[in-house]
Structure 1
């Protein structure tokens, strides 16, 4: 007999308290599962969260912990009861459940990636499973590829994007963008390199100029067609003074903005800085994105 039904029968016969996980219902408790046969009549095994969830045609069919009746996804039109808050998931006095940010069903708090299934990782601070891969996961191409937000594909491996340390003068502690790979969603700078140093550069009224290539991806939308649509891109000096890169004219005149033709969420920005210095330390960031700090010699 299937696991879900067997446990329910044992509970009724022995009057023992069986610890079950999932979304607490008014009169029944859901259980983790691997197939629909593990669940009670009127339930299915959620294809991603792997917990038994009640099917429905309207919100009135659902328990108090999950009162919304909606399709599982745009590609799976089966309707199930969905939750809205962790508090309602734990309405029976437990603290072990969360309302999944990804699937909107009550699930046990995860403690490791193995609890989250393929293509997901565990945020142990919140107990939520999140989309994306761990650093070290194989990927292909460049920019974000199949990596989690805050990572980029480097040499076929998901790698954490650079973040300026607090020892960087451009971004000291207490005067730096508040960015987190788990909670932020701004553009991610994943590469900054020096293209060249120009002596007596035409970009400057006198002296030389450093020319840099900065690559960044975004997840909320495509990069704009032209530089005129760019905003929120800043250069930060070592005294923490910041300049808007576009409005200050720090992009190269013709080649300063290059959106990828194969991935519209990936772009290169070529900037210049007039400086008669043998070495320079620079800081860059986008609004809502990671601060990066780098040092270069002529």
Structure 2
């Protein structure tokens, strides 16, 4: 009789264990973190501030987060369990959970970080897909020029995403406000010398040669409608002093296409001059050196 009771109790315990395991398969406990050491799994989604479970295959993941893959926008190579749809997050225990756009965990609506709207919302070396609101690693190859598919702060040069040229000119060396520079403002990716003509009407009677310089830049924020709205755009002289670039308001001197702007600035030099060292920057952006030969 006692043996029979013991067998019944063992069967009950076994059934309870199976029930707990089944519940565990669907559970998605989310722990907050700021670094990998905060997580028992050793993986912190630092963009969302949540721990994620590592996996080798989908079989290692709960039903609500069945995607086992490398986390988009992360430099880590481990695969982690991720949700795919809101519907899969709606278990019997919760019908309100949604799949977090950034966390890739099942979460209460509005509890996770907002989807990205620009590259600056993503970690370094990542880009923002503004359609889906998701961060992903920036491309290393590209086509065209300007930002293309490169990370913010880089540009497309000969099919490769690279940082703009490091400034080494005297203009930069003598420039005393380097704290105004950065990688979040408009990024100058190209400076080119245009025409050089005698123009006393524009330059006066001393430095009569007018040289046109085209500065090409991209920005995450919308460009102003006219060049008059270009706040924080400065021309740096060889001695390090700054002044507002001279930009004509006539057609063709300020062109905007998407995130790119091409700005034609003017310098007036002596008739005998044939080369000038120039520096340009936007507040919060990079410093661009250019040796204009004309």
TM (norm. structure 1) is: 0.59
- Alignment-derived partner of residue 81 in structure 2: 52
- Aligned pairs for 1:79-98 within 5 A: 79-80=106-107
CA, structure 1 residues 190+196, in 2 after alignment: closer, same or farther (shift >3 Å)? same
Q: Which residue of 1 aligns with 2:100?
A: 72
Residue 296 of structure 1: SS of its match in structure 2? strand
2:147–2:154 Cα contact (<8 Å) kept: yes
Aligned residues: 218
Contact 2:175/2:236 (8 A) holds in 1: no
The structure carrying a bigger helix percent of its residues is 2
Please report how far the alpha carbon of residue 83 of structure 1 lies from its aligned counterpart in structure 2 after TM superposition: 7.3
Alignment partner of 1:138 out of 138, 141, 161:
141
Which residue number in structure 2 is paired with residue 226 of structure 1?
A: 226
Are positions 1:291 and 2:293 aligned together? no
The yes-or-no answer on 1:186 pairing with 2:190 is no
Shift in CA distance, 187/70, structure 1 to aligned 2, threshold 3 Å: farther
Per the normalisation by structure 2, the TM-score is 0.60
For 1:215 and 1:152, locate their aligned partners in 2 and report how far apart those are by CA, in whole Å. 11
Question: Does structure 1 residue 155 correspond to structure 2 residue 158?
Answer: yes
1:265 aligns with 2:259: yes
Distance 2:69 2:57 in 1: 8
What is the DSSP-based 3-state SS (H/G/I as helix, E as strand, rest coil) of the residue aligned with 2:203? coil
Query: What is the root-mean-square deviation in Å for CA atoms of aligned residues?
Result: 4.0
Q: Which runs of 5+ in 2 are unaligned?
A: 1-20, 25-39, 46-50, 72-78, 114-120, 129-134
Structure with higher Rg: it is: 2
Contact in 2 for aligned 1:259/1:268 (Cα 8 Å):
yes
1: distance between equivalents of 2:279 and 2:138? 28
State the distance in 2 between where 1:256 and 1:216 align: 14
The 8 Å contact of residues 177 and 291 in structure 1, kept in 2 or not, is answered as: no
What do the CA deviations read for 1:93-130 (whole angstroms, capped 9, x no partner)? Answer: xxxxxxxx759xxxxxxxxx9xx9xx89xxxxxxxx97
SS at match of 2:146: coil
